[in-house]
Structure 1
């Protein structure tokens, strides 16, 4: 401890006795490690006590720590979720050195199944299920789900047809006997909303249901809902489970430097990222991801399917932004402080046309895929250019700005070159410039918008493949096809479904038309 600066020692004396997330930084200001603590005061100070019992990697970390910052949270689970989000964004090099992939846990919910289950995995796959994570403390996540299961009963294994209720159902951890598929999926949707930060809205809904049941003299239902409300309120003191644990904006170096770089009058609280996904102009979709205070805000993500399908990314981007910035959606979703487009000059120009069509002054830029360079229009991007012009006149190792026609091309990783389409080697770079955190924030937003767009495109493509098979069956219309897809998730799900399940989903009359064709052995 004596080797650390007096300034850091004095700062550590102000550590609170509350849960939170801490950020260890090097002399250059780089965030080199992010961790969470039940008691910040105890956990953070442990790093600066005797290093005798530390392993070699942890000793190396401690030797590099020059400053420490932290954010308080209301509970350990708050800290757990904030830690997960910040590690994904900043990719601190000591988090990679001190953890292996086996410690990461994902929550998996297969909402497309007939009777969805909730489970945990270390290796998410593209199986049409929803995944939440990764989280770096599997024990805490599983404990949180045990609490939530009392409020939102769910299955961990699919129930057997006509099977007797098991012990979980009797003690309220699985759906009670007689629960329909629709009721069960509604409960799971509430669980997901809770994980995405919708606790307050769910409480209001439950209170409304309780009063309505009491008004109808259904006192058994009213009592059950009342118990759920009480259990849910008690979680506020034990767990806060969601994506709304945002970093204190005044401590976010990336957002501060971003505002300086682009000459923004205020720190961009709401950043929206956009990407297009399609295959040869079919199943054209667009994603809108939202980052609030630099953290992904999944509850506000939106997806679009273009009205006209064509292999023209410029048109697709312009249509998407025009729909997003309509008066109706601006009122419902709010106005972004910064728009980030995944693409080059053409995609940026298309987005700017949509912004200008509504006479809005929203800062709008793009990030080129290969070299991860930022593209800004010299006059139309609605940003300040003083920092960019100064960088052109006085080149540094932190930033390189060049002019290409009507655009500024901004390189925030001078001297580093990419060898793939999506920045794999830039992520592993060891050099640190003033704008490294800005680069990582842009990468995080771009990757999320790409992931979200591709996942939606994949869903539509699979649905279309399923529909094509079913379209060949005489007497089977669009409504029946949609019902089968919603119920079983995919054509493979239909093929694997029991005959009784298909009959239950669409009725005996339609099932007699479909089953002999898709399940000839039945």
Structure 2
């Protein structure tokens, strides 16, 4: 097929290294996102006349009017970035052409004595640490196998009765026979988690210092172990990267560049925090804080709040959560470069009041749900927005801006990169807030029948709900069923009290 001259020029400029590429339609809409080990080779394949395409791919190629890309350090880095960009832009050809590859997360339940590393496609709000999502499960598993030689970990969801083969191969620390203490095992897992979070360079410096200190103290066996780990990490550093933290050039993220220009920021917002409120008729009020680091969702930084102010007052609740987030108790949390409020002028005004009450001047904007309208206070949003900052979209569609009292109301095209990023953060904050609200509501409903019963403390309540599924079902259980769960002595004390309270 004959390529348009603009496409030909872009193909000539493709880099040799790994990264993520974007295909755009004539209107500037991103219609497909992909990753490549060598961008130049992979992208050019779409336009080779000798290479046959199925009907769906041929339709994609026929619609391509523009090409863009982001370079990364390694293919595995591109793997992570690709997944986040797909969730941000929701390109229609990614949905049309997708196969059975689904996103996957790495799960570590660090609250357990000996956490087992596992993989899941559906992360839960269960207190475990999740890393990802990754689009290519096979690549992630292969990378974790390589890292296992440096940081041995258990995969036992059910603890076996004897040492496993992986222990004898040096890949498992022997948690089955407690060959390693829980504290030492978790310390090793924390180093693995730091590697997954992109702290590879710092981790290698610490291992080098550890090796030198052990050698100086004539602890040569410890020095040799640190040396071997350092060597393994040096061999891995050009193969396995899981985070954008050290290697992704955020100046090439179009959404961050648009936000920087739109809001008159001095630099791209590396840390964006999004906030939302969730409740049903003023009950079980919750708030969420989600974080995007360098334009990518960062689940390890999410936080949730159980709100103290009762009733159905979103403005008061928004002010409460921002006041608490920037209070003295959270001084160790990094300050954001941009705050996104899910809501309109009222919610944004409440957030600004909270920041001013803490004597903070941080960039803060709102995103209204109905029209995806960006809300900026003319003087108190901590940004330098003016209508002059606005430019036409790639397809020529001009943004609309209006003044409403002290607020600017900005309507960018829904295909704009900055809108897609803000939508992604806003949707995550809504999802996370609703998830926490639902869990609180579920606990209140299921545990209600056990509350206030003498002899039933928090531990007994958890055991009964785990055994019977709900407080109401536990209250309806027979004496024999209850005794099988809590023992004869406790059942004799609580059974009659439970049934006298719940006749």
Q: TM-score range by the shorter chain?
A: 0.7 to 0.9
Structure 2 contact 83–103 (Cα < 8 Å) conserved: no
What corresponds to 2:229 in structure 1?
228
Structure 2 contact 101–135 (Cα < 8 Å) conserved: no
Cα distance in 2 for partners of 1:187, 1:153 equals: 8
What corresponds to 2:58 in structure 1?
59
Structure 1 contact 283–460 (Cα < 8 Å) conserved: yes
Q: How does 1:153-192 map to 2 (within 5 A)?
A: 153-160=152-159, 163-176=161-174, 177=177, 178-192=179-193
**Residue-by-residue CA offset, 1:273-320 (whole Å, 9 max, x unaligned):** 122346776765543333344223445x25254684534443332233
Structure 1 contact 246–294 (Cα < 8 Å) conserved: no
C-alpha deviation, 1:399, in angstroms: 3.5
Cα distance in 1 for partners of 2:236, 2:122 equals: 29
Cα distance in 2 for partners of 1:468, 1:152 equals: 46
**Residue-by-residue CA offset, 1:72-122 (whole Å, 9 max, x unaligned):** 222211111111121111222221111146543333334455543323344
Cα distance in 1 for partners of 2:190, 2:280 equals: 30
Which of 462, 471, 487 aligns to 1:516? It is 487
Cα distance in 2 for partners of 1:263, 1:55 equals: 45
C-alpha deviation, 1:167, in angstroms: 0.7
Unaligned regions of 5+ residues in structure 2, if any?
A: 469-482, 493-503
Q: In the superposition, relative to structure 1, how do residues 388 and 405 fare at CA in structure 2: closer, same or farther (>3 Å)?
A: farther
Q: How does 1:247-286 map to 2 (within 5 A)?
A: 248-264=249-265, 266-277=267-278, 285-286=286-287
- TM-score w.r.t. the length of structure 1 is 0.75
Unaligned regions of 5+ residues in structure 1, if any?
A: 414-432, 497-511
Cα distance in 2 for partners of 1:245, 1:28 equals: 33
Cα distance in 2 for partners of 1:493, 1:191 equals: 35
Q: In the superposition, relative to structure 1, how do residues 76 and 64 fare at CA in structure 2: closer, same or farther (>3 Å)?
A: same
Q: In the superposition, relative to structure 1, how do residues 229 and 96 fare at CA in structure 2: closer, same or farther (>3 Å)?
A: same
- Cα RMSD of the aligned pairs, angstroms, is 4.1
Q: In the superposition, relative to structure 1, how do residues 320 and 201 fare at CA in structure 2: closer, same or farther (>3 Å)?
A: farther
What corresponds to 1:445 in structure 2?
425
C-alpha deviation, 1:444, in angstroms: 0.7
What corresponds to 1:504 in structure 2?
none
Cα distance in 2 for partners of 1:205, 1:439 equals: 40
Cα distance in 2 for partners of 1:389, 1:41 equals: 34
What corresponds to 1:70 in structure 2?
69
Structure 1 contact 38–75 (Cα < 8 Å) conserved: yes
C-alpha deviation, 1:200, in angstroms: 3.5
Cα distance in 1 for partners of 2:229, 2:467 equals: 38
C-alpha deviation, 1:59, in angstroms: 1.2
C-alpha deviation, 1:246, in angstroms: 6.7
C-alpha deviation, 1:44, in angstroms: 1.4
What corresponds to 2:416 in structure 1?
436
Tell me whether 1:351 sits opposite 2:331 in the alignment.
no
What SS class does the counterpart of residue 197 from structure 1 fall into?
coil
What SS class does the counterpart of residue 237 from structure 1 fall into?
coil
What SS class does the counterpart of residue 144 from structure 2 fall into?
helix
- TM-score w.r.t. the length of structure 2 is 0.77
What corresponds to 1:47 in structure 2?
46
What corresponds to 1:364 in structure 2?
364
C-alpha deviation, 1:239, in angstroms: 0.6
C-alpha deviation, 1:49, in angstroms: 0.7
Aligned residues: 469
